[in-house]
C-alpha cells in the first residue's frame, strides 16, 4: 500500500471517530454498521408508574363520546380475569368529574396464543364500558391516575419514556398494583 493511500485511510478513520464522538456529545444518532450509536448517558432508567401523567400521554381524541359518570352506569356487568399485563386496553378516559375509568381503545386482535395484549379482545371487552371494580375493590369513585396505578397496564409506556425522556419527573404511585390474576368487572352504560 502506498504512503498516500494509507494517509487517506488514516484521515478517513480519524474523521469517522470524530463524528462518532461529536454525535455522542450532542446526543444525536450517528450511522453505524447496524442501526445507530446513541449516548446512553442521556436516557433515564427511572421507572415511571402507570398512573403518573397518564392523561398527558393519552389525550382525548376528537371523536371520543362525551364524558360519562361511571357511578351512573346501570347496564349489564361483565367479569373478566386478566392473567398477565398488559391486558390489551390501550386507553382509558376519566368520568365527568375526573373519577372512574371508561375503556376507550381496545387492541382488536390477539397476535398469537397467550398474547397478553389480546386478553381484553378475547374476553369481549367493548369501548365505552365502565370499569366497576378491580379484585373486588370498587373503583368508580377513585381518581383515574389511582386506577391506572392499580391496573399498572400501560401497553407502550416504556417506548413513550424512551422517546420523550419523561421518566425522571414522575410522581410516586398512589395506589398499590393489583395482584394477578386480576378480576375486573366492567359495566355497560
Report the candidate in 20, 14, 22 with the shortest Cα–Cα distance to residue 33: 20
Predicted confidence at residue 64, as pLDDT, reads 80
Each residue's pLDDT expressed in tens, for the chain with a length of 189 residues: 566 666 767 777 677 676 666 555 555 444 544 444 444 444 444 444 455 556 556 566 777 888 889 999 999 999 999 999 999 998 899 999 989 999 999 999 999 999 999 999 999 999 999 999 999 999 999 999 899 999 988 765 555 555 555 554 556 677 889 999 999 999 999
d(CA 52, CA 34): 35
Listed in order, strand segments (DSSP E) in the chain are 30-31, 36-37, 77-82, 89-93, 102-106, 130-134, 137-138, 182-187
Work out the number of other CB atoms within 10 angstroms of the CB of residue 86.
20
pTM of the entire predicted model: 0.64
Amino acid at each position: 500500500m502506498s504512503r498516500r493511500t494509507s494517509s487517506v485511510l488514516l484521515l478517513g478513520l480519524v474523521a469517522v471517530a470524530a463524528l462518532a464522538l461529536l454525535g455522542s456529545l450532542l446526543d444525536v444518532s450517528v450511522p453505524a454498521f447496524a442501526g445507530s450509536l446513541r449516548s446512553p448517558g442521556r436516557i433515564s432508567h427511572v421507572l415511571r408508574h402507570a398512573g403518573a401523567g397518564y392523561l398527558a400521554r393519552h389525550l382525548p381524541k376528537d371523536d371520543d363520546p362525551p364524558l360519562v359518570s361511571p357511578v351512573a352506569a346501570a347496564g349489564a356487568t361483565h367479569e373478566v380475569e386478566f392473567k398477565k399485563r398488559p391486558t390489551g386496553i390501550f386507553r382509558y378516559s376519566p368520568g365527568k368529574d375526573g373519577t372512574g375509568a371508561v375503556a376507550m381503545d381496545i387492541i382488536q386482535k390477539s397476535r398469537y396464543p397467550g398474547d397478553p395484549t389480546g386478553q381484553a379482545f378475547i374476553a369481549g371487552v367493548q369501548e365505552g364500558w365502565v370499569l366497576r371494580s378491580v379484585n373486588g375493590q370498587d373503583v368508580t369513585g377513585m381518581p383515574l391516575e389511582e386506577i391506572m396505578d392499580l391496573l399498572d397496564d400501560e401497553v407502550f409506556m416504556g417506548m413513550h419514556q424512551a422517546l420523550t425522556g419523561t421518566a425522571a419527573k414522575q410522581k410516586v404511585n398512589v395506589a398499590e398494583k393489583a395482584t394477578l390474576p386480576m378480576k375486573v368487572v366492567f359495566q355497560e352504560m
